[in-house]
Amino acid sequence: MKAGRLQASRGALAKLAGVSLPVKTAYRIARLLKAVDAELALIGERQDVIVKKYGREVSGGNYELKPTDSNWTDFIRERSELMDIDIPGIPDITILVSDLGDVSLEPGVLADLDWLIVDP
């Protein structure tokens, strides 16, 4: 899975983890969420390095970067490279729709988790 896709689906995964699920399914999702959070922490650290590299310090160690800055294109290129990295540490888990029980999820959540939830 690519880093960008993982980052984009984190919110949907947290929503799924916040609903009442059968024990086995809940465990699998909790295990997955733990792995996702660990990988996203590493991605976030690298992203901070990229922001510091191309941004300018505004106060107290905070950096700012705007689309109008001359190095914005370089920032976007390097960040895109980061988001395109394959993340090997994510468990290969598939959740069947039937494993979710009577859970109601918004279509957007399901769309973000199409790599995880399948309906054979």
Convert the pLDDT of each residue in 53-101 to its tens digit.
999 999 888 999 999 999 999 999 999 999 999 998 788 889 999 999 8
pLDDT tens column, 7-32: 999 999 999 999 999 999 999 999 99
pTM assigned to the model: 0.84
- Beta strand ranges found along the chain (DSSP E): 56-59, 62-64, 95-96, 117-118
What residues are paired with 102 via a beta bridge? none
Helices first, then strands: H and E counts in the chain: 4, 4
| Residue 116 confidence (pLDDT) above 90 | yes
Structure confidence at residue 92 (pLDDT):
85
